[in-house]
Amino acid sequence: MQLIRDIDNIKFPHNGYVASIGNYDGMHLGHQRIISKVKAQSLAMKLPSLVIIFEPQTTEYFLKQHANPRLMSLREKLVILQSYGIDWVLCLRFNDRLANMTAEQFIQDILLQRLSIQHIIFGDDFAFGNNRTGGFELLQQYIATEKVPTIQINNTKVSSTHIRQALAANDFKSAATLLGRSYTISGRVAHGDKLGHKLGFPTANIYLQHKILPIRGVYITKVYNLANKALIGVTNVGNRPTINGSRNVLEVHLLNFAKDIYGKRITIEFIKKLRDEIKFASLDELKQQIEKDVKQASTFTVKDS
């Protein structure tokens, strides 16, 4: 799979694509159905497959800090797209130019002139262009267009919104059902301020590219890519109010593990919420609570999940 980071970098010869467009936040079961159809149609038409996404995501551009929290990073999204055999991903920088572009301009300038899209597939709630005036009816006037119906599971629409709601309610089972996989966060272990080490509970700190996450608190987690099996951890997501932290961090204390893992990329699967993040009167009180969290997590085994 090849990634193109901006529209001005489209300077290669092509005979057209089978494509889809969207934010694809979460890459849930509905998204997966669309991507599968894109790949199948590209093989049938003997054209490369292309997925067009946006950075920042459109709601992040318009709503800024009030946008919904992301379900996944760009890197996590690309990993899943690659697993479906997508040939190309075009990551458009969503800026004033795109935001003010009419739906007709987007079709003519980007989809037709620059990309020669031959067939396009998207979900039934997709809209584009300034004021979201473009949709299925307009697109089909220019390009062969296919609309994929929304998936319903147990009378619940499979959507990023419903997944965020499930995560906010600590219903990881329902979130996994809608996602088609467990909810995870991946990232590279970075150096922190060593507070956990000072308290006797060293943590692996994950750099958060997007500072707002759909979860917050202390969790039992499973951690992958450090051993030949999942490791159990206690993971805190929040701003560490006891030390008056000002930014969100993700830090995980691994049970029965003491290797140097700086720079390693790990995946954290969220299993169960232990408690909310609260401000303690002292570091000693925080340490006592962490001891309780670790004790509770130590009774959990991988087979329990």
The pTM (predicted TM-score) of the whole model is: 0.90
Tell me: the pLDDT tens digits for 162-211?
A: 999 999 999 999 999 999 999 999 999 988 777 777 788 888 999 887 66
Domain edges within the chain: 2-148, 184-304
> CA 174, CA 157: separation in Å to the nearest integer?
12
**Per-residue model confidence (pLDDT) at position 158:** 96
Superfamily name and number for 2-148: HUPs (3.40.50.620)
Tell me: the pLDDT tens digits for 268-278?
A: 999 999 999 98
Tell me: the pLDDT tens digits for 54-112?
A: 999 998 989 988 889 999 999 999 999 999 999 999 999 999 999 999 999 999 999 99
pLDDT at 120 over 70: yes
Architecture of domain 184-304: Beta Barrel (2.40)
Angle at 66 between CA 149 and CA 98, to 5 degrees: 65
**Per-residue model confidence (pLDDT) at position 303:** 52
Tell me: the pLDDT tens digits for 206-254?
A: 988 766 889 999 999 999 999 999 999 999 998 887 886 767 889 999 9
**Per-residue model confidence (pLDDT) at position 252:** 94
> CA 225, CA 193: separation in Å to the nearest integer?
23
Tell me: the pLDDT tens digits for 131-143?
A: 888 889 999 999 9
Which residues have CB under 8 Å from 122's CB, separation 6+?
20, 21, 22, 34, 146, 147, 148
Higher pLDDT: 303 or 74? It is 74
Tell me: the pLDDT tens digits for 150-163?
A: 999 988 899 999 99
Q: Where does the pLDDT of residue 258 fall: very low under 50, low under 70, confident under 90, or very high at 90 and above? A: confident
- Tell me if domain 2-148 and domain 184-304 are identical in fold: no
Q: Where does the pLDDT of residue 10 fall: very low under 50, low under 70, confident under 90, or very high at 90 and above? A: low
Number of other residues whose CB lies within 10 A of the CB of residue 247: 9
Pick the closest to residue 26 from 65, 76, 66 (CA basis): 76
**Per-residue model confidence (pLDDT) at position 249:** 85
- Give, in order, the Cα–Cα distances in Å from 139 to each of 21, 30, 88, 135: 12, 21, 21, 6
DSSP state letter for 269: E
**Average pLDDT of the chain, as a whole number:** 90
Enumerate the H helices of the chain as residue ranges: 29-45, 58-63, 74-83, 96-99, 103-105, 136-139, 160-168, 172-179, 195-198, 283-298
Pick the closest to residue 53 from 86, 9, 22, 93 (CA basis): 22
Which residues have CB under 8 Å from 63's CB, separation 6+?
none
Local structure of 157: helix, strand or coil:
strand
Range from 6-20, 45-59, 180-194, 284-298 carrying the lowest mean pLDDT: 6-20
Dihedrals phi, psi of 114, to nearest 5 degrees: -85, -30
Mean pLDDT value across residues 17-26: 95
